[in-house]
Amino acid sequence: MSELPVFRYHPDPVGTGSIEATEDTCEFCDLPRGWRYTANIYAEEEFETVCPWCIADGPSPCTTHP
C-alpha cells in the first residue's frame, strides 16, 4: 500500500471517509494503489475506482504520475 498524497483541502481524507482502502485497480492509472477516492468525482463519466493520486493531480486525471 502506497503512502497517500497530501490533499490541501483534505488534511484527513481517510478520517472523513473521502478515501478508503481497496484492493481494486484505479480505472485511470491502472495501478493497484491500495486506496480509492470515494467522494464525488467531477467527470463526465462515472468511475467506480479512482485512486487519490489521480484526484490529487488535478481535475483531469493523468496517467503519467509515478
Q: How far apart are CA 2 and CA 42, in angstroms?
A: 24
55 in contact with Zn ion (CB under 5 A): no
Lookup result for grid cell 475506482: 49
In this chain, which of 13, 19, 26, 49 binds Zn ion, going by CB under 5 A? 26
Q: How far is the CB of 54 from Zn ion (least distance, A)?
A: 3
29 in contact with Zn ion (CB under 5 A): yes
19 in contact with Zn ion (CB under 5 A): no
Residues in contact with Zn ion by the rule CB under 5 A: 26, 28-29, 51, 54
